[in-house]
Amino acid sequence: MATIYHRITEYIKSSFTNRDENAFNRLALEVFSFQYTNIPIYQKLCDKRGAAPGKVSSWRDIPGISTEGFKLFELFSKPPAEAKRIFSTSGTTQGVKKGRALFSEEGLELMDTAILENARRCLFPDSGKYRFLIIAPPPEKAPHMIMAYGMEQLKKKYGLPGSRFLIGERGFVPEELAKELKLAEHENISIALIGASLGFLTFFDYCALQGLAFNLPAGSRTLDAGGYKGKEREIARDEFLSLGSRFLGIPPAMSINLLGMTELGSQFYDNALKNHFNGSPDKRCKENPPWTRTLVFDPRTMKEVPLGEKGVLWHLDLTNLERVAAIQTDDIGRRCEQGFEILGRARGSEARGCSLSIEEITKKS
């Protein structure tokens, strides 16, 4: 009999071409039942909400746990000794405990499948190979950084010889990236420049100071992730796209952003590059891969809001089999026809709704 890992893997591989809402719902409820049985602290939360297997009939009603839960509890369906990799959140406040996400070998294979299927659709719809220049440390230097792990999987699958990570012992050295881009221009090799959003901003500043501008070969693209959490300086998306065009010669349609979370095994890409190659006029937004769903809740009532209205984002991810599939974030956003947009971070009273699940777990009966 196929294991639940296998069933989710097969679903991921077929879901872009065979979108079946009933199949998704059945699998989501199976994941919920698995997690209810195997993650005791999650079972406690579900019981407090009266949401046990058999009582929940829709994926929309699966209880979510806030991201704070990963800082307070070991949310793993297996004994910790069976974890092959442990990823941790970056953290933005001094003294705050980092969250942890544990993966077994089977769990990593499941995430790898999702990473590659999603990238094939949203980052490489033209099916090419590229020289990867990655503004991040390599996984062996940052074993707890889930972003570095995911970028390594992309490099292995789609990278040409000469692909490399650019953050080493000296940190990020913009001069090294500049040399690589000049070489790519000379050799006429398309570049996939991917990495931390802050690294891109540092490089754009360097180019402005040095009077540098590149005209990267056709097909080159950028992918930035991580945002500017906890940093004094940040730039709007339109400005980022403008700087990418000015300093790299990359059209806005070939520059996309990715939302990744340590707490989730899947990522959410901008749909711009895919739309560009498909000739679609759809507005740029984050797109849900078919094995995920995103809802938007009013942070005061924790009730779902209508399409287009803003609230806090809730994600359901079937690759999160070993942790908790439903995650309540502190991101403010809104749903759109093709996915969702991120507008900012919850603050003050807004943030309270995001942490209700923690209070439910820790409150004495």
Residue 60 burial (CB count, 10 A) = 14
CA 49, CA 53: separation in Å to the nearest integer?
Answer: 12
**CA distances, 280 to each of 257, 276, 283 (Å):** 18, 6, 9
User: Residue 211's pLDDT band (boundaries 50, 70, 90)?
Assistant: very high
Query: What secondary structure does DSSP assign to 285-353, as a single string?
Result: -EE--TTEEEEEE-TTT--BPPTT-EEEEEEEETT-TTS-SEEEEEEEEEEETTEEEEEEE--THHHHH
Nearest residue to 264 (alpha-carbon basis) of 66, 122, 101: 101
Helix axes 197-210, 174-187, angle to 10 degrees: 80
User: Residue 363's pLDDT band (boundaries 50, 70, 90)?
Assistant: low
pLDDT of residue 90: 73
Determine the average pLDDT of the residues in 275-279: 94
- 18: Cβ–Cβ under 8 A, 6 or more apart, which residues? none
Nearest residue to 263 (alpha-carbon basis) of 146, 118, 350: 146
Residue corresponding to tokens 């950084």? 145
Determine the average pLDDT of the residues in 316-329: 97
Residues of the chain with pLDDT > 90: what percent?
A: 82
Determine the average pLDDT of the residues in 5-20: 94
pLDDT of residue 98: 85
CA 298, CA 310: separation in Å to the nearest integer?
Answer: 8
In this predicted structure, the answer to whether residue 229 has a pLDDT above a threshold of 70 is no
Residues of the chain with pLDDT > 70: what percent?
A: 92
In this predicted structure, the answer to whether residue 247 has a pLDDT above a threshold of 50 is yes
pLDDT in tens, 78-107: 999 999 999 998 754 455 678 999 999 999
CA 311, CA 341: separation in Å to the nearest integer?
Answer: 11
What is the maximum span of the chain, computed from C-alpha positions, in angstroms? Answer: 68
User: Residue 338's pLDDT band (boundaries 50, 70, 90)?
Assistant: confident
- Give the lowest-confidence range in 75-84, 321-330, 348-357: 348-357
Tokens (6 digits) for 298? 């009013």
- Give the lowest-confidence range in 158-167, 324-333, 337-346: 337-346
In this predicted structure, the answer to whether residue 339 has a pLDDT above a threshold of 60 is yes
Q: Report residue 349: phi and psi, to 5°.
A: -65, -30
Structure-derived torsion over alpha carbons of residues 36, 37, 41, 44, reported in degrees to the nearest 10: 70
For the chain, which domains are there?
Answer: 1-365 (3.40.50.12780)
pLDDT of residue 92: 47
pLDDT of residue 97: 74
pLDDT in tens, 134-190: 999 999 999 999 999 999 999 999 999 999 999 999 999 999 999 999 999 999 999
